Chains A and B, each alone.
Chain A
Amino acid sequence: MEEEKEPAMVTPGEVLGTVSEFKPGKGTYVAPHNDTVFASLTGYRRNISPAIDSSDQRPIVEVTGHKAHGPVPQPGSIVIARVTKVMARSASAHIVCVGTKSVREIFNGIIRQQDVRATEIDKVDMHLSFRPGDIVRALVVSLGDARAYFLSTAKNELGVVSAESTAGATMVPVSWTEMQCPLTGQIEQRKVAKMAS
């Protein structure tokens, strides 16, 4: 993993090399008409040696370091979202974090009935799974439609991670379907996420 001593700063459009010399990595692109690798972001240029067992022995060139744009949900990313509306067949949510990063402006997500849990999906009662205001951890299934990203909580570690009881206290999970209010002892139904311990 030898790097150049002084990593060079590059800006979009600067030539980094040719396809025969380098494999294009993050922050770069290849212009097909002349097989040239260009930078697409501002940042430090780095050459990374390929893995020893890799069939492709070209070093990877990438541009990193400067501020990238705010996070955007992608299929496969884990997001944190706040439930805004619960309907019979789906729940709407505002995506506030992608991975561990908070977004600059919220994205709309929707958890459809069939994506709430993995088993007995036709028996899911949305109102016993989420309440407006709940914070959920979810997986982005697809880019969804024009209105929202499709989210899923159909995994043990996905679902409600924080919820307030009707009394206004933060509830404690007691099982994967129930949470309890520490003030009143009242049990409320949720699709609870299993906390990573």
Chain B
Amino acid sequence: MAGKGGANPATYSPSPTIQKKKAPLFKEDWVRPDGRGFHQCRPAFFRTGAVNAASGSAYAEFGNTKVIVSVFGPRESKKAMMYSDTGRLNCNVSFTTFATPVRGQGSDHKEYTAMLHKALEGAIILESFPKTTVDVFALVLESSGSDLPVVISCASLALADAGIMMYDLVASVSVSCVSKNLVIDPIFEEENYQDGSLMITCMPSRYEITQLTVTGEWSTPKINEGMQLCLDACAKLAKIMRSCLKEAASDSKE
């Protein structure tokens, strides 16, 4: 047996004998690996109150993408922080070592951490908790595509569960451009073969976008089409999130 880290010998993950013929999969008339329509999202499952130790929390499952977000606070800001009249938002996103097909390091994801912070910041009424900090920590249990949008939507639900005042819920959806087709809520394999990606984070009932990222090659009409797809999907997602919150609130009443 081996103890913790360090002295372990080099290991590798056995790969499949036949490399899946991925390239042909994404030619002209391809179908999505999970059989969905191009403009069809994976079924979204949300549950609040996943972590009792937290002030608020939520679990989200989109296909095999599974995340947990805990919210702590409002609590005292860390000592090193300067005094601030308004509240602060602090975020962190990390992955489990088994989140990805090949075992990873399970470390913090700096880019997602920054993106999550920016996506949520504008939706929280920071004036409602002066001087203190609200911590939003996400753990991606299993990564299977569209991880960041799932983390963002799940985080906004956890904030609502924690009773943090918000201007609106925040819903996030992405589309990938794969072989001239726009596919919504892409899975891992599709993201690997995408020519471009577009992600929108919005406050659905205020028709305001808090974050928009576009990478890769896009034509203007394609961007417009992609944005419309995302916005429509965000509106639908927000409905599911709202009914999850209402269900939890009326359950706790009884």
Contacts and interface: CB of A to CB of B under 8 A. Distances in A.
Interface residues of A, number: 31
Interface stretch (A52-60, A61-69, A152-160, A163-171): A61-69
Main secondary structure of the interface of A (DSSP, over half): loop
B164 A69 contact: yes
Interface string B105-133: 00000000000000000000100111110
A101 interface: no
Contact of A72 (B132, B168, B242): B132
B165 interface: yes
Given A31-B206, A40-B125, A69-B55, A12 B76 contact: no
A145 B83 contact: yes
B245 A70 contact: no
Given A13-B169, A13-B203, A69 B249 contact: no
Given A69-B55, A70-B55, A147-B79, A14 B205 contact: yes
A196 interface: no
Contact of B77 (A13, A41, A67, A146): A146
B166 A12 contact: yes
6 contacts: A13-B238, A38-B205, A69-B163, A69-B164, A143-B130, A146-B77
Interface of B: 55-56, 72-77, 79, 81-83, 85, 125, 128-132, 160-169, 203-206, 238, 241-242, 245-246, 249-250, 252-253
